[in-house]
Structure 1
Amino acid sequence: MTIKRIVTTAFILACGAGSAALIYAWQPALPPIAPPSPTGFDASEVRYGADLALIGDCRTCHTAPGGRTFAGGLAMPTPFGTIYSTNITPDARTGIGQWSLEAFTRAMREGVDREGRHLYPAFPYDHFSLTTDVDMKALYAFLMTRDPIVAEAPANDLPFPINVRLVLAGWKLLFFHPARYTTDPTHDDIWNRGRYLVEGLAHCGACHTPRNFMGAETRSEDYAGGEVEGWSAFPLGRLSPAPIPWTEDALNHYLREGWQAHHGVALGPMRPVVENLAEAPAQDVAAMAHYLASLGATAGPSVQIPTVSPDASGQRPQSAGWQAAISTPAAGGPIGRAIFSAACASCHLSERPLPLGGVDLALSTSLSASTPQNLLDIVLNGVPASDGNPALIMPGFAGSMTNATLASLLTFLRVEVAGKSAWPDLPAAVAAARKAASPPIHVRATR
């Protein structure tokens, strides 16, 4: 075969492969519709859709700080660039007012919008694909009865070739394998309901599962922990680093209230999640807790928390970890102990119960985690007030503690209170957290 024939054959094969790829990647636009009248939807279906939207955390991702609910525009940083959420109100020009139920369902299950463009997996259609027809119809009814808002989302800031949406077809071919949800007959209805919500609309694995270099969830490591918006999403189930196993009751309280006395407080990206779940049907949240408790050794034998007598200052440490930390010198040294006594003890060693007092740091998952990332975020930024609602609150110390002070405090907490070995490269972690620290912006949206 001559060189000319080889080149010609290679060219033909390349053209054939390219054509096949384009045929696979191309999706047709679906016909636009006139925005449906809100009065055309059943009221009970709309209410059910509102509950599903709370579980799906829709208003959090589709509401920009200070913006109108569901109008989009929220910047979502990813390792590949910044993606902006879209307007999902029924505005005909900038929202989804011209979308039929078919178009809405395709976006949720296949990650393709009405115009035929592939959607970035920052929109977790790999989870939403499990949604049943009944629930899809209810969600559609709820969104189509919102106030239409004119709001154009900013253009995504992504490098080439990621900014070419056809490339996403290749990503889907490798990592997106949609399947309809099927119940497991070996478990009861509550477990199946919880699994359906956790794996589907609630998309818990989107944060709590690690991702590979192409941004896809590593399915062989489900719920082994992930990173999101500068926070660690802790492992769930048997991989949880929590000093005390998560029980079903503890999970249910945490998901509804945003804190749990033996584990800590929901902060960072988890805070709006629990705020939404606080308004969701109690039986659905209980089903989610039931399923999550089944993932591993979260519901083991109950752990008795030792009580100790008041110390010389009249304060009563809340657990044995505190007793050891205050009565014996260790690696944290007197500096870390002194900082804790001056800045933290008045809340965390008070006898006030939650939510008025501080959580028992000896039992906090943040102290037992593999990295100090979350603890640093909390100490630097604090726990902001929740728009006048009764909730835990804590001042941030970014302006009053130096990096050396923070390192001493964290060493005291990690070594002397949690009883763990010191975090490696803590000064570098403190410096990085300081550089990234900024007061968290939180807007509590309403229906």
Structure 2
Amino acid sequence: MRRWLIVAIATPALAGAAFAVLHFWPIVKPESVKDLTGDPGKGAYLARMSGCIACHTNAAEGGKPLAGGLRLPTDFGTFYSPNLTTDPQHGIGSWTIEDFATALRQGISPEGAPYYPSFPYPFYSSFSDQDIADLWAAFKTVPPVAKASKTHDMLPPFNLRAGLKVWRALYHQPETLKQIPEKSPIWNRGRFIVEGPAHCAACHTPRNMLGARQAEMALHGAETLPDGGKSPPITSAALKKEGWTVGSLSYALKTGIMPNGDVFGGSMAEVVRDGTTFLTEDDREAIATYLLEREK
């Protein structure tokens, strides 16, 4: 009886101590962004490529561009995209460029809190200082919208944001993409887009029970997406088996029309509508080239 009493008293205390350790566990690395002049036009293009407009604009309910509020239901709870306008209270108007870089490349808020991986920051770790400067210049042109997004509605224990620090330790291993000299410039450009800003693997890779991508199955498709749909494999072998060519895939990324005359549906239709249709022909060709020539 005494032993069980000790356990009953000690367990909450140990849990509290563990949570305190997690809460104060420092994970941020100070960002030092070079003093570069940003090009808002290039930044806006990169933002399109990165899916910022699609994910942070609740167009179905008449939301303003980048004002957030888009609902994303998952098995872990419901996420709502944040306000990214220049409003200082509800958006990012009070941020510094270092705050911006830390959020994008590390997935950490100005307050030092980790972001949920529904924000695909692992794919943005390869952004250069110039990329950051260009994006920052573009976001500074966004009109402020004085409206707060909704708070995430997460299921326990995922509502304890400090627990994300453990998740990051297990699964977040950011890598900087380096040029592969033996590959063509167009292949390397496609690799940067697919593996970086376009974050294709976010939807086209299966995940484990904790929501982490199964790296060994990259681009092999996913059976369950947040919208209830599923994504097909887009490995080189799978695309070639379905008869895709660089030309037909590049065209589909512009128009949404597949070689059989059908059109993309679901979230892929949104990707084309809000993202890839705005890319240059060279970049769409680069994406298609990389996917069809990717070795894995």
Which aligned pairs between 1:36-435 and structure 2 lie closer than 5 A?
Answer: 45-64=39-58, 65=60, 66-226=62-222, 227-228=224-225, 229-238=227-236, 240=238, 244-262=242-260, 264-275=262-273, 276-295=275-294
Which aligned pairs between 1:7-26 and structure 2 lie closer than 5 A?
Answer: 21-25=22-26
1:100-121 residue CA offsets vs partner (Å, 9 max, x unmatched) = 1111111111111112221110
Please give the alpha-carbon distance, in whole angstroms, between the structure 1 residues aligned to 2:30 and 2:71. 26
1:36-81 residue CA offsets vs partner (Å, 9 max, x unmatched) = xxxxx96x81000111111111111101122111000000011111
Q: Structure 1 residues 244, 139: CA separation in 2 closer, same or farther (over 3 Å shift)?
A: same
Please give the alpha-carbon distance, in whole angstroms, between the structure 2 residues aligned to 1:28 and 1:109. 10
Instruction: Give the aligned residue type for 2:181.
Output: P
Residue 15 of structure 1 deviates from its aligned partner by: 8.9
Instruction: Give the aligned residue type for 1:52.
Output: L
Instruction: Give the aligned residue type for 1:286.
Output: E
List alignment gaps of at least 5 residues for structure 2: none
Q: Structure 1 residues 19, 57: CA separation in 2 closer, same or farther (over 3 Å shift)?
A: closer
Q: Alignment partner of 1:77: what SS? A: strand
Q: Structure 1 residues 286, 117: CA separation in 2 closer, same or farther (over 3 Å shift)?
A: same
Larger Rg: 1
Q: Alignment partner of 2:282: what SS? A: helix
Please give the alpha-carbon distance, in whole angstroms, between the structure 2 residues aligned to 1:224 and 1:296. 13
Q: Structure 1 residues 95, 243: CA separation in 2 closer, same or farther (over 3 Å shift)?
A: same
Residue 262 of structure 1 deviates from its aligned partner by: 3.0
List alignment gaps of at least 5 residues for structure 1: 31-40, 298-447
Contact in 1 for aligned 2:22/2:162 (Cα 8 Å): no
Residue 92 of structure 1 deviates from its aligned partner by: 0.5
1:107-151 residue CA offsets vs partner (Å, 9 max, x unmatched) = 111111112221110000111112222112111111111111112
Contact in 1 for aligned 2:67/2:83 (Cα 8 Å): yes
Q: Structure 1 residues 15, 73: CA separation in 2 closer, same or farther (over 3 Å shift)?
A: closer
Q: Structure 1 residues 257, 236: CA separation in 2 closer, same or farther (over 3 Å shift)?
A: same
Residue 260 of structure 1 deviates from its aligned partner by: 2.0
Instruction: Give the aligned residue type for 1:70.
Output: L
Residue 286 of structure 1 deviates from its aligned partner by: 1.6
Please give the alpha-carbon distance, in whole angstroms, between the structure 1 residues aligned to 2:92 and 2:252. 34
Residue 27 of structure 1 deviates from its aligned partner by: 5.0
Contact in 2 for aligned 1:127/1:201 (Cα 8 Å): yes
Instruction: Give the aligned residue type for 1:261.
Output: P
1:190-241 residue CA offsets vs partner (Å, 9 max, x unmatched) = 1111101110100000000001000011001001101321222100124527
1:79-103 residue CA offsets vs partner (Å, 9 max, x unmatched) = 1110000000111110001111111
Residue 244 of structure 1 deviates from its aligned partner by: 3.2
Please give the alpha-carbon distance, in whole angstroms, between the structure 1 residues aligned to 2:265 and 2:113. 34
Q: Structure 1 residues 197, 178: CA separation in 2 closer, same or farther (over 3 Å shift)?
A: same
Residue 277 of structure 1 deviates from its aligned partner by: 1.4
Q: Structure 1 residues 157, 29: CA separation in 2 closer, same or farther (over 3 Å shift)?
A: farther
Q: Structure 1 residues 17, 230: CA separation in 2 closer, same or farther (over 3 Å shift)?
A: closer
Q: Structure 1 residues 28, 52: CA separation in 2 closer, same or farther (over 3 Å shift)?
A: closer
Please give the alpha-carbon distance, in whole angstroms, between the structure 1 residues aligned to 2:200 and 2:289. 14
Please give the alpha-carbon distance, in whole angstroms, between the structure 1 residues aligned to 2:241 and 2:30. 52
Q: Structure 1 residues 263, 232: CA separation in 2 closer, same or farther (over 3 Å shift)?
A: farther
Instruction: Give the aligned residue type for 2:281.
Output: A
Instruction: Give the aligned residue type for 2:111.
Output: E
Contact in 1 for aligned 2:236/2:291 (Cα 8 Å): no
1:21-45 residue CA offsets vs partner (Å, 9 max, x unmatched) = 4443565999xxxxxxxxxx96x81
Q: Alignment partner of 2:186: what SS? A: helix
Instruction: Give the aligned residue type for 1:53.
Output: A
Residue 249 of structure 1 deviates from its aligned partner by: 0.9
Residue 264 of structure 1 deviates from its aligned partner by: 3.3
Q: Report the more deviating stretch, 156-165 or 95-104.
A: 156-165
Contact in 1 for aligned 2:236/2:293 (Cα 8 Å): no
**RCO comparison, higher one (Cα < 8 Å, 6+):** 2
TM-score by length of 2: 0.86
- CA RMSD of superposed structures (Å): 2.8
